[in-house]
Amino acid sequence: MLPIFFDERLSEEKATDSMPGVSTFPLKGYDGIASGIQGSGVNSVLVFGVPSRKDARGSGAYAKDGVVQKAISGLKESSDLLVISDLCLCEYTDHGHCGVLDGSGRVKNDETLELYAKTAVSQAAAGADIIAPSGMMDGQVSAIRIALDDAGFEEVPIMAYSAKFFSAYYGPFRDVACSAPGHGDRAGYQMPCGNRKEAVREIALDVEEGADIIMVKPAGPYLDIVRDAADMFDLPLAAYQVSGEYAMIKAAARNGWIDEDRVMMESLLGIKRAGADIIITYYAKEAARKLM
Ligand code: PBG
Ligand code: ZN
């Protein structure tokens, strides 16, 4: 599965310094974008949006004509890609946090859930095949499940970012998505890196709440968690090789220090060997081409 970025401020494709080979796209040219992806043998994308305006409540995330809603319907109308929609507020809030804040700068969990529910329904209405909440709020999967069912989207599955760690490997992503928190960090809602048992508990909660696919993120530094999840849960398991994992391989390869193709395939094989059914990676096209 390939992550893909759309920015409503762009008029042409834009490269990313910290992630060579990863572009952000304008809201047009869906045919060409989709055929470039499908031509390499990849059939699913995880869509992120970058809005032109941000506010305290991330209202661009649940706007009917929001950037991600437009990107989803554009891709669905011009291809048969499976379109998975990332659901979070951090790309849409002016403070960069994944939810709304109280007066002292702490995320208000339950108020955020209401906005996630609205966002999920708007993404499904735009044609998303799967909704992927990544904000790590407590109760997000059940809140979204209830909202989708009420709106008649009972058949739209949820891919839950279940075990998402408080990781330094998300750095390059935040450059692309312009979503670095303006103050503070995400330690309050993402998981501490050293705690293996909490990861299992978080996944179990998502399963109870109705997740259809569970996810571990990042992938490479957390392969023990991937293996735990594969052994302990029956649901399809996704693992996300995140931006920092990709950027490190790219940087070393560009210096001539490693063989990029071999390290790419070895890193993905390790994730597969640990038990992932679905791998989300910025290398999706290159890897799929090698496997064709
Ligand atoms: C938004 C989100 C992030 C990523 C996926 N969804 C960033 C974050 O939590 O800071 C990271 C993906 C990557 O680094 O490739 N909540
Ligand atoms: Zn977020």
* CB contact burial 279-288 (16+ within 10 A = b; e otherwise): bbbbbbbbbb
Tell how far the Cα of 193 is from the centroid of ligand 2, in angstroms.
17
Ligand of minimum distance to the alpha carbon of 168: 1
| Ligand 1 residue neighbourhood (C-beta within 6 Å) | 86, 88, 90, 98, 134-135, 170, 173-174, 242-243
Ligand of minimum distance to the alpha carbon of 174: 1
- What would the two tokens of residue 98 be? 């994944």
Tell how far the Cα of 12 is from the centroid of ligand 1, in angstroms.
23
If one counts every other C-beta atom within 10 angstroms of the C-beta of residue 165, the result is 24
Instruction: Report the atom number in ligand 1 closest to the C-alpha of 98.
Output: 16
Tell how far the Cα of 192 is from the centroid of ligand 1, in angstroms.
15
- Give the ranges where the chain is alpha helix by DSSP (H): 30-38, 67-78, 109-126, 140-150, 171-177, 196-209, 223-232, 243-254, 260-274, 284-291
- What is the C-alpha to C-alpha distance for residues 133 and 141, in angstroms, rounded to an integer? 7
Q: What are phi and psi for residue 251, nearest 5 degrees?
A: -65, -45
In the chain (292 residues long), the average pLDDT of successive 10-residue segments reads 97 95 97 97 98 96 96 97 98 96 94 98 98 96 98 98 95 88 86 93 97 98 98 98 98 98 98 98 98 90
**Minimal-distance CA residue to ligand 1 atom 5:** 134
**Minimal-distance CA residue to ligand 1 atom 7:** 170
Q: Please classify residue 238 by burial: count the beta carbons closer than 10 Å to its beta carbon, then call 0-12 exposed, 13-18 middle and 19+ buried.
A: buried
According to CATH, what is the number of the domain 2-291?
A: 3.20.20.70
Q: Which residues are identified as catalytic?
A: 164, 217
Tell how far the Cα of 170 is from the centroid of ligand 1, in angstroms.
6
CA 108-113-116 angle, 5° bins: 125
Q: Hey, where are the domains in the chain?
A: 2-291
**Residue 187: its pLDDT value, please?**
87
**Residue 231: its pLDDT value, please?**
98
**Residue 178: its pLDDT value, please?**
80
Q: Are 133 and 120 within 8 A, CB to CB?
A: yes
| Residue whose C-alpha is closest to residue 199's, from 136, 272, 276, 108 | 136
